[in-house]
C-alpha cells in the first residue's frame, strides 16, 4: 500500500509578518506553490527562490 505525504505550510502566516513590499512581490510572482525560500540576508537584496527561477523581491538592500 502506498502512503501519501501531506504537506502543510504556514506560508500565509509568514507572509503576513514580512514587510509589505516583500509580501506583495511574492504574491505578484504568482508562484507560491513553487516557492522554495525567501532570502533576507543583511546587506543584500531580498530574493525569492522558486523551483524554476530566482527573483529579486526588492532592489534595496536588507538593513
Residue ranges of domains in the chain: 33-63
- The answer, yes or no, to whether residue 50 has pLDDT greater than 70, is yes
pLDDT band at residue 8, thresholds of 50, 70 and 90?
low
Q: How confident is the prediction for the chain on average, in pLDDT? A: 90
pLDDT of residue 11: 87
pLDDT band at residue 39, thresholds of 50, 70 and 90?
very high
- CA dist 53 and 1 (Å) reads 35
Residue 16 is inside which H or E element, if any? Answer: helix 11-17
pLDDT of residue 1: 61
pLDDT of residue 9: 76
pLDDT of residue 41: 97
Extended beta strands in the chain, E state: 35-39, 45-50, 54-61
Amino acid at each position: 500500500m502506498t502512503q501519501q505525504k501531506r504537506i502543510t505550510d504556514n506560508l500565509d502566516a509568514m507572509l503576513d509578518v514580512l514587510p509589505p513590499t516583500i509580501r506583495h512581490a511574492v504574491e505578484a510572482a504568482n508562484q507560491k506553490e513553487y516557492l522554495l525560500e525567501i532570502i533576507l540576508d543583511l546587506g543584500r537584496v531580498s530574493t525569492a527562490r522558486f523551483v524554476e527561477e530566482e527573483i529579486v523581491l526588492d532592489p534595496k538592500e536588507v538593513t
